[in-house]
Amino acid sequence: MTRPLHTVGGGWLLLLLTTCMPLPCAVAPQAQTNADSPSAVSPSSYEIGTGDVLHISVWDEPQLTETATVRPDGKISLPLLYDVAVAGMTPDDLQKSLTEQLTRFVRKPRVTVTVQEIHSRMVFVTGEVQRPGAYPLVAPMNVVQLIARSGGLTDFARQKKIYVLRADKSTRVNVNYEKVLRGHATEQNVDLAPGDTVVVP
C-alpha cells in the first residue's frame, strides 16, 4: 500500500509502506507424551517411579538445588548425599527424608520436592482418537475418561470394536463404547493400570 507523505519540488515523495501479512505460525506437532502439570500430582499419595523428573530445592542453598531423573535402579544423584533411593516414595516422604539427611551438612534445611514430569505411570491410547499418545496416570482413570482426555473419537472410530490391551500383553478387554455411554455394559469401562493401551480401530 502507498501513501503520500510530503511534497518536494512540486512532486510527491512517496513512502512505500509494506504491510506485512502475518505468516502462518509453525505449529509444533502434538507431543507424544501429554504430561500433567505438577499441581496434578498429590505430594502425599503419588509414588515416585523410574523416569520421573524431580526438582529438589533447598532454600538458601542453591548449590544443593537439583533437577534429577529417577534412574532404572530407582535412585537419583544429589550433591553431598550422592545416590539416594527414591522409587516408591511419595514427594512428602522424600522431602522429610532429605531434610533429615541434610541436617548433617546444613543447619535447619528447608527442602521442597516437586514432580516436574511423570514418566513412570503412563497409559496409552492409539488409533481413531483426536490426540493419540501417552498420558500420565496420576489418579484412577477408566477407558471413557482416557478417550475424553485424548480429545474424543474421530468420525471414523469403530465404537463397538474398542479394546484394552493390558500391560502384560496377554489380556485383552473388549469395550463396546456405544453401550458404555448409554449406561449399559458398564463393566467394560475398566480402570486402567500403568502400561495399559486403549486401541480404537
Written as one string, the DSSP assignment of the chain is -EEEEEEETTEEEEEE---PPPPPPPPPPPPSB-PPPGGGS-TTTPPP-TT-EEEEEETT-GGG-EEEEPPTTSEEEETTTEEEE-TT--HHHHHHHHHHHHTTTSSS--EEEEEEE--SSEEEEEESBSS-EEEE-SS--BHHHHHHHTT-B-TT--GGGEEEE-TTSS-EEEE-HHHHHTT-SGGGSPBP-TT-EEEE-
Query: For the chain, what is the mean pLDDT?
Result: 85
Q: Identify the pLDDT of residue 169.
A: 83
The reported pLDDT for the residue numbered 41 is 82
Query: Mean pLDDT, to the nearest integer, of 16-41?
Result: 45
For 161-195, write each residue's pLDDT tens digit: 999 999 988 899 999 999 999 999 999 999 999 99
Domains of the chain, start order: 42-117 (3.30.1950.10), 122-200 (3.10.560.10)
What mean pLDDT comes out for the span 86-108? 97
pLDDT band with cut points at 50, 70 and 90 for residue 40: low
Q: What pTM was estimated for this model as a whole?
A: 0.70
pLDDT at 33: 53
Question: Over the stretch 98-125, which tens digit does the pLDDT of each residue have?
Answer: 999 999 999 999 999 999 999 999 999 9
Is the pLDDT at 34 greater than 70, yes or no?
no
